Structure 1
Amino acid sequence: MSDTLQRPDPSGMSLRNLTHAAYGLFALGFVSAGFLGIATLAAVVLLYIKRQDTAGTFYAAHFDWLLSTFWWGLLWLAISGILTLIFIGWLGVLATVIWVLYRLIRGWLALLEGRAPGAYE
């Protein structure tokens, strides 16, 4: 789908720019190793607030992609954090970090190419 299907946003920010902002905030919180975790939380809040505006566009897939990345990553980090008490959780933390980084890169590249994340052409 193209950008022409999007409804105009009263704030003047296009869905494309909004999606880039969400990826940027999420990445900022992630690469700062949690020191700027508020940026990731801001991205999640932004995604939930603007989610309805993306209905019917391929941006909805990006919003779902980022939200599922956040919630699954949080779940696996919590489980891995508990397992660090028996010294095997560090592998889970490493695997989760790599997985979240992969999904951020893959999703953002798909956005730059104008397609939904996970869609192969």
Structure 2
Amino acid sequence: MSNTSTASLVRAVYVLHLVGLITGGITALVGVVIAHINASDAPPPLREHFRFQYRTFWIGLLYWFIAGITTLALIGWLLMVLIFVWWVVRCARGMTALNRNQPPSKVDTWGF
């Protein structure tokens, strides 16, 4: 697969992650599968994007699970808003880095 087509696939996974916010995560699940499958074959900068994407999915899933449990204590609703913002910011930062032909920054962090 060429760098251009791989970059297009990376971009598509970011879009799938963002659309997942309104589809209940279904498209994000498709995106994480694509990211896992293609990460090992991608060139280094794009490999980091795939890694960033699947980390965003799995960390986000953990955050959503914690928020879901804590909705009974009402704090979960606030957490869900914060997770939504966290998810959008991570995808936006990743797409910005992709447009600059750079790997995303802070791939190993749990934050923004």
State the TM-score, normalized to the length of structure 1. 0.79
5+ residue gaps, structure 2, are 107-112
User: Runs (4+) of structure 1 moved beyond 6 Å?
Assistant: none
Matched, 1:19 2:6: no
Deviations 1:81-113 (A, max 9, x none): 100011111121111111111101000111011
1:104 counterpart = 2:91: yes
Q: Secondary structure at the match of 2:105?
A: coil
Partner letter of residue 51 of structure 2? D
What residue is the counterpart of 2:28 in the other structure? 40
Q: How far did 1:18 drift?
A: 1.1
Root mean square deviation, CA, Å = 1.7
CA shift at 1:59, angstroms? 0.5
1:58 partner SS: helix
Distance in 2 between the 1:59 and 1:65 partners? 10
For residues 50-61 of structure 1, what are the structure 2 equivalents within 5 Å? Answer: 50-54=38-42, 56-61=43-48
Deviations 1:40-91 (A, max 9, x none): 111111111111111x420011011111111111101110110001111112
- Residue identity over aligned pairs, in percent, reads 36
The corresponding residue for 1:75 is 62
- Tell me if 1:89 matches 2:76: yes
For structure 1, the 5+ residue unaligned runs are 1-8
Specify which of 16, 19, 39 is matched with residue 28 of structure 1: 19
Q: Which has the larger radius of gyration?
A: 1
In structure 2, how many angstroms separate the alpha carbons of the residues matched to 1:76 and 1:100?
10
Shift of 1:33: 5.2
